[in-house]
Chain A
């Protein structure tokens, strides 16, 4: 039996949740359902045909360029993820070891690049990596190279740009895990005779794994869906799923195939999150 105050509170909760739920249902659920439906429709000269067909998915499988696009996309996402782990771990350690009153500032410094629009940031990279960019000009001036290095408009540019864009997510995720490690665990290991390398491998790293996994899934899925970075820094040399979706949808006006591509990407990400949940369960030491 619920009292009057409880009923009032329930009403209040639904009233507060309502706008948000409508927003999510309207702007997320409906488009996804719409997308799913369209991906099973036929297409002719930019027109979506009625009826059900698997042709869009079939063409993805049949046409080997799509396999290549997916392979390049996943490889780039994997490489960026690994680079983010390698570059992010030391920074995360620095944040975790810093006195608590400095952490706020360090967090801000890490997250500050996120305040700049991705397009602006990516063009910034062009100024650095381009044929007439800072790096090439400096190296030429120093006499280290005759020809400018190809640092953008290719895979290298994509990886550098992607790593920089998504590094903050990895750092913040790992730092959260590292801060949760009680200092006395590290001190126990040291007193028991373990050196810094051993302590890192046997104590710090296993306990930081939840952060590494969460950060990896985040960076990997964000990089899978990245659009601006592959478009601007990858250029035409790099085949990327998001760019292919864009081309299909807005250049070729083949919306059904574009949505089929997007669906495959979406399913890949969902699968990834499911795998992450399973992987994280292995590291739930405190449950």
Chain B
């Protein structure tokens, strides 16, 4: 059993008539990288700010390291935070920024200097000590902000879409950096993003949020492969949900409009929902093969992979992802066969909404 670092219990928060937190409970384990994922306005940032103490709660409680901090101000919670906007103090050098929290906490001059060195080493920017924030690139600023937040050895480091203002390439780079820094520092990370790729790539666990509630809290593979409802399935990755019947006698799934996918399941209800991702669909030329008959509606080439959109007889559209350039075997409007493999199932069917 993992130790619980932060525990939010039955948090309720209202802004006017909108419910930003609707009786939310969340346990963050010691040392994990947990991400709150959702669209803007789903309450993910509010939940983080409540944990930080930057927002008050209408009801509910926050415990950090077993201590009830609900009534404590942010400065008494020993936390770190990195914002989406560049939040370095513009009138201080990089070193002064990193040392700020330590000076506030009245650490010795020697310790402060040593920690600044250590943090600059951790974010791999040892040569920027005397620079001003305005002289740094966006990516560098966010890494220094990370160093500043980690310098005080916080119980929990919160990151509010810290890569949101950066371009895609830099984002990818910093995601890898973030993962390494998380491992190396051993600090518990609470991350907020609306980018599902980012969430799955970075996190030990992901909480998918909607309208002030957590829809599913799971590790990334389960979020992707076993979404608990349509919202989670739709939100994370490209997906087609096929409602179908489970045929226990034949050990597989009968699709609407014909077609059968062999797929032995235990304890499956009769009506189930099949989660079909682009990588689960193999396209073969019409004629031979045992896949489902379909028509090719669109072919799109995307750096290294080709996405085929096909429509089944039942009217459902599937997307198939293939490595390499578009195959001459498939033409727009032409017939093909789609074979489903390694699909997963969303349970329970009744719960889908």
Contact = CB atoms under 8 A, between A and B. Distances in A.
Interface in A185-200: 185, 187-195, 198
Interface in B123-163: 132-134, 148-149, 152
B134 A286 contact: yes
A287 interface: yes
Contacts of A285: 90-91, 132-134
B85 A187 contact: no
A41 B335 CA distance: 102
B91 A206 contact: yes
Contact of B89 (A187, A191, A203, A283): A203
A182 B90 CA distance: 11
Contacts of B148: 188, 192
B83 A193 contact: no
A194 B85 contact: no
A285 B97 CA distance: 14
Contacts of B104: 192-194, 198
A207 interface: yes
B267 interface: no
Contact of B87 (A182, A193, A198): A182
A187 B74 contact: yes
A59 B134 CA distance: 52
B75 A286 contact: no
A17 interface: no
Interface string A189-225: 1111111001000110011000000000000000000
B328 to A, nearest CB: 51
Interface in B82-122: 83, 85, 87, 89-91, 100-101, 104-105
Interface in A102-118: none
A16 interface: no
Contacts of A202: 89, 100
A105 to B, nearest CB: 20
A15 interface: no
B81 A195 contact: no
Most chain B beta-carbon neighbours within 10 Å: one of A189, A192, A206, A287: A192
Contacts of B80: 191-192
Contacts of A283: 91
A64 B195 CA distance: 75
A188 B75 contact: no
B90 to A, nearest CB: 4
Contacts of B100: 189, 192, 194, 202
B87 A190 contact: no
A184 B149 CA distance: 13
Interface in B12-71: 52, 54
Contacts of A198: 104
B185 interface: no
Contacts of B78: 193
Contacts of B54: 187, 190-191
Contacts of A187: 54, 74, 81, 83, 87
A287 B77 CA distance: 35
Contact of B75 (A182, A191, A207): A191
Contacts of B85: 182, 184
Interface in A140-194: 182, 184-185, 187-194
10 contacts: A182-B85, A182-B87, A187-B87, A190-B54, A191-B52, A191-B77, A191-B80, A192-B75, A192-B100, A202-B89
Interface of B: 52, 54, 73-75, 77-81, 83, 85, 87, 89-91, 100-101, 104-105, 132-134, 148-149, 152
Interface of A: 182, 184-185, 187-195, 198, 202-203, 206-207, 283, 285-287
Given A187-B83, A285-B90, 4 more contacts: A190-B75, A193-B105, A285-B132, A285-B134
Give 8 nearest A-B pairs by CB, closest first.
Answer: A192-B101, A285-B90, A184-B83, A184-B87, A193-B104, A206-B91, A194-B104, A188-B87
